[in-house]
Amino acid sequence: MTGAGPLRYRPHHFLCSLGFQGKGYSETFTANMSAIVMGRLRAPGGDETLIEVTGTADAICAPCPKRQGEGCEAGGKIARLDAAHAYVLNLAPGDRLTWGEAKARIRASVPAGSLRQLCAGCEWEPLGLCEAALAALHAEEG
């Protein structure tokens, strides 16, 4: 994933990007997510990266082996995750914000220790990567 245009993100991918540690569903998925997270969001100036919220497949979903057109084979679970994250982060399709603004919104709206409930059903949640990243975000100065 390269380019200067806005990233298209489903609501739950904001927290996935915060916690990403180089693991994924396949090599191509992991390479794509690394390019987005490490190459754009965590790169110098990454906080200025513009993100547009979408309710369908996004930049992270592009090479996912679970993708089905604009949806996902785990559609019900993904819809629940997106709805919960959209509610907590006050996001709706078409909204635009920078990665820095997204992190500020996460810090203000998602308390440390809350991901077990917010991310219920996500296969990555039990690994604790996102919870550790959330705790680190809360430890940073706003």
Q: At what angle do helices 99-109 and 129-139 cross, to 10 degrees?
A: 90
> Which pTM does this prediction carry?
0.90
H helical segments located in 54-128: 75-89, 99-109, 115-118
> Tens of pLDDT along the chain (142 residues)?
445 689 999 999 999 999 999 888 888 989 999 999 999 999 999 999 999 999 998 999 888 778 888 878 777 888 999 999 999 999 999 999 999 999 999 999 999 999 999 999 888 899 999 999 999 999 986 5
Residue tagged 């380019």 (tokens): 3
